[in-house]
A = this chain, B = another copy of it.
Amino acid sequence: MATIDFWYSIGSTYSYLTVKRLPSVAQAAGITFRWRPFNVRHVMVAQNNIPFKDKPEKTAHMWRDIERRAARYGLNPSIPAPYPLPGLVLANQVAILGAEEGWGEAYTRATYSRWFEAGHPAGEEPNLSGSLIEIGQDPLRVLEAARSARVVEALSIATREAMEIGVFGSPTFVVDGELFWGDDRLQDAIDWSRAGKLA
């Protein structure tokens, strides 16, 4: 079965669409997606690529665009969600621990639902503990481990790997060395994995 790397940061707005629709898309396409959390804020600051700050027109379009596209996918977010996320780094430290332990995808989906649908920012309480309890994880254990030097370093390593292969934003799909940036490029990435070109 083909595998596509799905690089993402909790904190990215458009990644909401991908996180929520990816299970059904993956099943329909018969493709495995490898969920790869990284720190997109670190990458964007390093590359001076600040997409929305102090850009009200572009930001307004982003929210409306997500709202329109969410409806297409049967999603019902409360727009705009709180943004940006003060807890972005911790949110992704938890995600990378979850990726190691096998519950990263479930946590990511739970935390995005609480952020975009209930209005509770990811990476802080009550979202963190609520999401972890919902997926059967102990918040005390997970949050202590997620703050450990080892997990902090694991997120840094993943972020360096992302930058080395050219990832500059979230979500990014990587297949056969080709980068596809944006939820709106998910189908292009699937096309590429099947035929080496867009259908």
Q: Give A residues with C-beta under 8 Å from B.
A: 47-49, 54-55, 57-58, 60-61, 64-65, 68-69, 71-72, 163, 166-169, 178-181, 184-185, 188, 192, 197-199
Contact = CB atoms under 8 A, between A and B. Distances in A.
23 contacts: A47-B55, A47-B57, A48-B54, A48-B55, A49-B55, A49-B57, A49-B58, A55-B168, A57-B163, A57-B166, A60-B166, A61-B168, A61-B181, A64-B178, A65-B180, A65-B181, A65-B185, A68-B178, A68-B188, A68-B198, A69-B198, A71-B197, A72-B198
Contacts of A55: 47-49, 168
Nearest to A199: B72
A64 B168 CA distance: 14
Contact of A61 (B60, B61, B179): B179
Interface centre among A57, A64, A166 (most CB of B within 10 A): A57
Interface centre among A168, A169, A192 (most CB of B within 10 A): A168
A120 B10 CA distance: 43
Contacts of A169: 58
Contacts of A185: 65
Contacts of A65: 180-181, 185
Contacts of A72: 197-199
Contacts of A58: 47, 49, 168-169
